[in-house]
Structure 1
């Protein structure tokens, strides 16, 4: 792709938020990246423009048939003022996998990363510096064709917006309580579980609402057929340490290919920690707990990186891990990945992509 990226700078800048109270996903930077797709022309008109509301026809197909995909990434500012992205090529690969499932045209991942780098350079002063903060990046694609018909759209818009964020969970890397979901399911093989698409998250809200009402942070999803095998926790992949071995559910067609999940597996193998990807039932977890072999559990994802689990509620049985405290391995993984992301630790895996910036703070 040889097209150029045009840049229109905002005439007025937004007030930046208090870095000590950022929250997550509430405040957005001055600019955004946009690009359009037209059948017969392909992807075109790549541009960086001031952050602004969209104007869409009420019949735009995204509103009616849910043809949309997204990604989640972060940019990090090191102590030396360098700007790092963490494995952005994997996000672009996954975005194209989601595109394939939702019948959305493929993108040129390298070109989108280049557009993202330029966007970060334009808004580099939005990257927060406080401990535990980063610049969250949301690439997404929506179907924009005005047509009430169930078919792949002929027009799309790709956008990237960015938000300075603090920790996803206010408690930071502190164990959360999880409700095992026995009624609702997140996805089934053959559905859209492998794709990062909005409908998957909308369908999860009811179970989350019930869990919150019982003062649990998230739900543990079981498979959609037998409601027996573990899939994900909330919107994260999940790991268990059982008698010295780390186990995570195998990718089966309904589980998201997590970038952090893959990074954790690589890291554990690098440390010679036994790790396996296989089918894992909730009965096995409960029995491991009763036998005193369930040592740790944690979720993995871009937003929180590592989210230790302190308790599961499965029916009437409470499964309390590590006395409700953060496990040693969970903490080590978190410290290592965030250390690599922030440039504090060596990167032996070539995970980091540096963003050239002219004068990072």
Structure 2
């Protein structure tokens, strides 16, 4: 009941439209996670707990099969305007280059474009081509999730300080160790790329933003419109750099704890259409499809309920999702279930709301700033 009341409150704020717009925002594309089923077994054998979250159970760099099967589902459905569902793929365009870091005795950080990472993984040789095909057919549109899904400074300090469990992960090309297993002095995980431990981190984060967005344009031949920080955590001092680099939309939580240095400075309420001092619009997810999360709000029925609430309040339905729902390299049954449920979700959306419209983030921005 409390969650439903909060959903009603948040949906009552901000930009409205009578059109039944549907967007699907899916995080973590392009980023590495668990290298393989075999690597996962080695990590477990070395003492790293891989059972504490669904990402370390199922997620890996997307394979040919993952993307092929996802595209089949997307192409199976059309709205009344003849448009297929559009998958907004929040993409990390780079990953750490473990070989170069190791060869330099952990004294410097190196990264590689995710297209180079794909070459190191089996059954991934067609993925980049699928990205381009998805863009051309407007079913798979990458947006910016950061350069890496990695807090570079924090990770490198742990490696340089010879953190045992961090080094064990490194040996298996893995860094997403559960926070509870990290050395006591670390205190924070490595995933939130733009979380800050000190004010000096901002300089590095701004450079990462610039390099990441330039690499994004090189890879996809357009500038990103939307920025979703990994774990939706970032210091607002990088917003000016994001603006300079062309980011118009900031994907933020409804209730956001702002960070500055190593402190939480304030908590604020966000809503779709709210703007910051640079004129960037905030985008707020108001539904979730995460069937391997095993939470009722993220199932097919739960997602449909949230969509209905959004439409009731004249809001676009902005569905939150993660790549791990559709990956099958670790466990093919995970991919099978995710795709089956996703197909059912899309069918139900079109059945319940025949006038639903699938649109891109860029199209939503134009609607919000023209109408």
From the CA coordinates, give the structure whose radius of gyration is larger: 1
Structure-1-length-normalised TM-score: 0.25
Higher relative contact order (CA 8 A, sep 6+): 2
Instruction: Decide which structure has greater helix share.
Output: 2
Instruction: Decide which structure has greater strand share.
Output: 1
Structure-2-length-normalised TM-score: 0.25
